[in-house]
Chains A and B, each alone.
Chain A
């Protein structure tokens, strides 16, 4: 079951006198869907994710926040003050940090999440196996986590969160350190995931999220400057050159304007309407 997410007029400052990391930010994410939060470094993407999961207000008691967040019909004013896991799961930008480093195998690393949650020991193994199969990681069950490739580590990091079945999954720049093949695998996983979980993915590049997300939000210095569907986002793309690396996409958009049968096929394959 996926969770709905409604953010209303959220403003956040790390402390009094500092510029707001988020300013009057509002967003509604229907269930189930995938929303991409785009923007340059320092635009407030990671702050937003940590506010949603509850770790930011908990660890920054002197921070100042206004507005409200509603997750799965539960309202938090201004934001959750306790970590909401397993209702909300967050994967960090660095997947190597996400893994505890203290478990011998991928299976036991994923199982650690359930152990930490106090799950009945007899149920842990089945749940871990199910998650590993879903993410195509079953073959890696007995591998040592520190011997995995970047893409595999990213998917194992995702498994450590997904094993608890979060209703809302937040991912902080999941594709940053991945090569093309690993990105393609992760995209396929996320396309499958968004059918049952609400996803919120941040990124500084367009390429990865364009094939996965249904809704796009662009942040700049904590302010939402665009919140729209994929079609609207593509239409606005040329205006975002100062915030996002859109140069390559300008060429793609030019091709799109020509509308030849070949480009039509390419756009269809990419999931564009």
Chain B
């Protein structure tokens, strides 16, 4: 079985999340740039499939837009003494922009750290580790089905859009019409998802899910933690300790 370095990668996710809450925003921004490059320079973090690769690249563009929107909205909504930019009714305060700059890298760093784990590790590997950790198989299956639902959601929306288009609905005419269409498809989307979940659950039950013999636990494997796992966890602990000391300092 391929070693996907799940331990070090989980520890890295934890470390980056800790950084998002303990380090100044400028360092977070620098870390974010490094994290974006990691799949291209660190082999264990390479996307496992072309689809995962596309998702990562799409998320880079999405995060640029999201970061800009966070900074803009904060600059617009948070009032301050100093004005950075003014154009008609649009007034951006320096305090708001700074707050946006502090918030955006934090959110993006957490998102990228989780994304890195998922694009470079097959779901199967994560499941195996969860089972080895002692999570009940029923719980693992429910988690997997939830993940499957999330994964197939864009395709499901696209199918409904195509069906609506075939009926002449102008759903792709503009961003506004897409948003309007999204609202109208919410109920059929939820209903079809629920119905499929019930059917999928029935199908799994008919294949032995929840059968009494299921109580056989998966064999647990003894593992020595990878050196990177230990390093990442130690750095995370040090950062938390440092932050607590800063708070306690008079």
A residues whose Cβ falls under 8 Å from a Cβ of B? 53, 55, 59, 83, 85-86, 89-90, 92, 94, 97-104, 108, 112-113, 116-118, 121, 160-161, 164
Nearest-Cβ distance from residue A83 to partner chain B, whole angstroms = 6
Nearest-Cβ distance from residue B120 to partner chain A, whole angstroms = 15
Q: Select B216's contact among A83, A89, A118, beta carbons within 8 Å.
A: A118
CB closest chain-A residue, reference B125: A104
- Once A97-B196, A102-B123, A108-B124 are accepted as A-B contacts, the answer to whether A90 and B206 lie under 8 Å apart by CB is yes
The 6 tightest CB contacts between A and B, nearest first, are A118-B216, A116-B208, A118-B213, A117-B208, A102-B144, A97-B199
- Are A118 and B206 closer than 8 Å at their CB atoms? no
- Once A92-B199, A101-B152, A104-B122 are accepted as A-B contacts, the answer to whether A113 and B207 lie under 8 Å apart by CB is yes
Tell me the bound Cα distance from A97 to B148 in angstroms.
12
Nearest-Cβ distance from residue A171 to partner chain B, whole angstroms = 12
Tell me the bound Cα distance from A98 to B207 in angstroms.
9
Interface of B is mostly: helix
Tell me the bound Cα distance from A112 to B203 in angstroms.
12
- Are A92 and B208 closer than 8 Å at their CB atoms? no
In the complex, whether B200 has a CB less than 8 A from a CB of chain A is yes
Tell me the bound Cα distance from A99 to B216 in angstroms.
23
In the complex, whether B205 has a CB less than 8 A from a CB of chain A is yes
Tell me the bound Cα distance from A164 to B211 in angstroms.
13
Tell me the bound Cα distance from A263 to B199 in angstroms.
44
Residues of B within 8 A of A108 (CB): 124
B188-219 Cβ-contact flags toward A at 8 Å (1 or 0) = 00000000100110111111111101111001
Q: What is the total number of residues of chain B having a CB less than 8 Å from a CB of chain A?
A: 29
Nearest-Cβ distance from residue B97 to partner chain A, whole angstroms = 44
CB closest chain-B residue, reference A164: B208
- Once A83-B206, A90-B206 are accepted as A-B contacts, the answer to whether A117 and B213 lie under 8 Å apart by CB is yes
- Once A101-B148, A101-B152, A102-B144 are accepted as A-B contacts, the answer to whether A116 and B200 lie under 8 Å apart by CB is no
In the complex, whether B147 has a CB less than 8 A from a CB of chain A is yes
Residues of A within 8 A of B210 (CB): 83
In the complex, whether B34 has a CB less than 8 A from a CB of chain A is no
In the complex, whether B179 has a CB less than 8 A from a CB of chain A is no
Tell me the bound Cα distance from A90 to B208 in angstroms.
11
- Are A83 and B211 closer than 8 Å at their CB atoms? yes
In the complex, whether B130 has a CB less than 8 A from a CB of chain A is no
- Are A92 and B124 closer than 8 Å at their CB atoms? no
- Are B204 and A100 closer than 8 Å at their CB atoms? yes
In the complex, whether B57 has a CB less than 8 A from a CB of chain A is no
CB closest chain-A residue, reference B211: A117
Nearest-Cβ distance from residue B202 to partner chain A, whole angstroms = 6
CB closest chain-B residue, reference A160: B207
Tell me the bound Cα distance from A92 to B203 in angstroms.
7
- Are A121 and B203 closer than 8 Å at their CB atoms? no
- Are A121 and B206 closer than 8 Å at their CB atoms? no
10 A-B pairs with C-beta separation under 8 A: A55-B205, A55-B206, A85-B206, A85-B211, A100-B203, A102-B123, A104-B122, A113-B208, A117-B213, A160-B207
In the complex, whether B145 has a CB less than 8 A from a CB of chain A is yes
Nearest-Cβ distance from residue B122 to partner chain A, whole angstroms = 6
Tell me the bound Cα distance from A103 to B124 in angstroms.
7
Residues of B within 8 A of A121 (CB): 219
Q: Select B206's contact among A53, A102, A103, A104, beta carbons within 8 Å.
A: A53
Q: Max chain B CB contacts within 10 Å: which of A59, A113, A116, A121? A: A116
Residues of A within 8 A of B145 (CB): 100, 102
Residues of A within 8 A of B202 (CB): 55, 59, 92
Residues of B within 8 A of A98 (CB): 203
- Are A112 and B152 closer than 8 Å at their CB atoms? no
Residues of A within 8 A of B214 (CB): 116-118
- Once A102-B144, A118-B214 are accepted as A-B contacts, the answer to whether A85 and B208 lie under 8 Å apart by CB is yes
CB closest chain-B residue, reference A97: B199
- Are B124 and A100 closer than 8 Å at their CB atoms? no
Q: Select B147's contact among A86, A102, A103, A164, beta carbons within 8 Å.
A: A102
Instruction: Please name 17 further chain A to chain B contacts, defined as beta carbons within 8 Å, in addition to the given A101-B200, A102-B141, A113-B208, sorted by A numbering.
Output: A59-B202, A83-B205, A89-B206, A92-B203, A94-B199, A97-B200, A100-B148, A100-B204, A101-B152, A102-B147, A103-B124, A104-B123, A113-B207, A116-B208, A117-B213, A117-B214, A161-B206
Q: Select A85's contact among B123, B152, B196, B207, beta carbons within 8 Å.
A: B207
CB closest chain-A residue, reference B124: A104
